[in-house]
Structure formats: C-alpha cells, structure tokens
Copies of this chain bind each other. A is one copy, B any other.
C-alpha cells in the first residue's frame, strides 16, 4: 500500500465518520423518519419535535452537509425532504435490526421492498 493510498483511506474514514456522526443523534434520526411522510417545512418539524426553531435548523444544516436531505425553497418556507439513497435506507434498516435485538422492536416504516422485516 502506497502512502497516497493511506492518505486516501484516512479521507474515506473521515467521510464515513462524518456520515455516522450525522446519524448519531436521536433528533436527527427522528427528522429522517418523519421525512418519510414527504417534505416538510421547518416550522412543521419544529412543532413535531418540540424543539426551538434554531435547534431544528442546525440539525437540518448538519443533515444537509452530508447530503442526507434536500431543500426546496417555496415562498418564505424551506421544504426539506430526504435525499434518495438506497444505501442510507439499507443502513437505517440494518441499524433498526441491531437496535431491536433487545426490547420491543418499533418498526421504522422504511420502504424496503426486498426483505419483509425478518426479526
């Protein structure tokens, strides 16, 4: 393995870490789950989460940086929606399974057309 390859690997590991970091927060996971019902305005998310608007905006900015959500401006509102990504859906589905090993599993209503929820 050359040195350049090692540098690239570090870069890749950092990217992966950043991705996982974006997912390492219950609030952001809840946002991603809620966005399964379609795009939502920031205010709607704020009411749904019961958090301050600035807090929600910060979480959305975090998700936006990793390109997990997309924004669409309409008038004064910013409509957020999940970015299409089979990889992310798979990651979340597997994480649900791992987290459901113990305790009553709460079904993340993800669209996974292949495997019919075998727990």
CA distance A97 to B95 in the complex (A): 17
Surface stretch bound by B, among A5-13, A40-48, A74-82 = A5-13
Q: Is the interface of A mostly helix, strand, loop or mixed?
A: helix
Do residues B17 and A103 form an inter-chain contact, with CB atoms below 8 A?
Answer: no
Do residues B8 and A26 form an inter-chain contact, with CB atoms below 8 A?
Answer: no
The count of residues in chain A whose C-beta lies closer than 8 Å to any C-beta of chain B is 39
CA distance A108 to B100 in the complex (A): 27
CA distance A8 to B105 in the complex (A): 8
Question: How distant is A101 from chain B, measured CB to nearest CB, in Å?
Answer: 9
Within 8 A of B (CB), among A1-39: 5, 8-21, 23-26, 29-30
